[in-house]
Structure formats: C-alpha cells, structure tokens
C-alpha cells in the first residue's frame, strides 16, 4: 500500500522546488515518492529525502535528509544543532538532516547533496 503524499505549506513547497532544482541537476538523478515524501535517487539508490513539516521526518520543520559520511554528520550536528539534526532511522548510517527555512545556506545544501550523490558511487566528471 502506497503512503499518501504529505501535506505541504506554501513555504515547504518553495523549499521543495529549490531542493528539486538542485537535486535534479545532478547527473542521472530522478525523483521517486517514498513514504509520502519526494526522494532523490541515482540508479534508484536514494541520496536525499524531503522532510515535510508536521511529520517526524523533519522534527516538525521543513527539512531534507542527505546521505553523508558519519564523521561529517557528527561535526555538522554538534557544531550547528539549529541547522542540522540526526534524522530518525538513518543517522546511524551517516545521514544528516538539514532544516530548510529563511536561514538556509543553499550553497552548503548544494554541496551536501553533491557529496551524497557522489557517495553512491557516482564518478565526478573529468575536467576538460
């Protein structure tokens, strides 16, 4: 049975549009709904999941879960607890949660998404 799509606010939809634009610009990425949330994948391997506000996915706030190295996740969460968190179920595997709001550093989110994508085994394009 498919999960129903989560309800969005105007603000969460704006953040989702921006997240979608960044994620889908990465090589060979596609979007799949899972658990009622948009996820972003390469070769059907997930590297990011949108977290709707009002659910435990975003701890009540709009967020994104991103595949990361465990050590880097630990640094982000400990140094910036107002911006990053341990996502339920996935933190033990190195994933990091990032809140999306008016203070979001989108360049940093873009870097995290690119690194999460790379961790799936994606080769970086060769420089010409």
DSSP 8-45: --HHHHHHHHHHHHHHHTSTTEEEEEETTEEEEEETTE
Confidence of residue 5 (pLDDT cuts 50, 70, 90): low
């640094």: which residue's tokens?
A: 75
Whether 3 is in a domain gets the answer no
> CA-to-CA distance for 53 and 56, rounded, in angstroms?
8
Residue 124 lies in a domain: no
Q: Please indicate, yes or no, if residue 125 is contained in any of the structural domains.
A: no
For residue 126, being part of any structural domain is answered with no
Supply the range of the domain harboring residue 113: 10-119
Give the pLDDT score at 35.
79
pLDDT at 122: 57
- Residue 81 in any domain: the answer is yes
- pLDDT (0 to 100) of residue 42: 95
User: What mean pLDDT is reported for the chain?
Assistant: 86
Q: Is residue 4 part of a domain?
A: no
What percentage of the chain's residues is helix, strand, coil (to nearest 5)? 35, 25, 40
Q: Is residue 5 part of a domain?
A: no
Model confidence, pTM: 0.85
CATH of the domain at 101: 3.90.1150.30
The predicted structure's pLDDT at residue 2: 61
Q: Let me know if residue 2 belongs to a domain.
A: no
The tally of domains found in the chain comes to 1
Predicted confidence (pLDDT) per residue in 92-127, tens digit:
888 999 999 999 999 999 999 999 999 998 565 666
Is residue 55 scored above 90 in pLDDT? no
């Amino acid at each position: 049975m498919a999960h129903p799509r989560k309800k969005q606010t105007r603000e969460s939809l704006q953040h989702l549009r921006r997240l979608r634009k960044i994620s889908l610009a990465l090589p060979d990425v596609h979007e799949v709904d899972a658990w009622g949330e948009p996820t972003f994948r390469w070769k059907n391997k997930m590297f990011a999941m949108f977290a709707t506000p009002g659910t435990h996915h975003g701890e009540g706030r709009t967020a994104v879960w991103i595949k990361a190295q465990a050590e880097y996740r630990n640094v982000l969460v400990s140094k910036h607890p107002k911006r990053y968190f341990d996502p339920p179920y996935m933190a033990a595997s190195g994933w990091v949660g990032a809140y999306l709001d008016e203070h979001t550093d989108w360049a940093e989110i873009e870097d995290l998404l690119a690194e999460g994508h790379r961790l799936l085994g994606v080769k970086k394009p060769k420089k010409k």
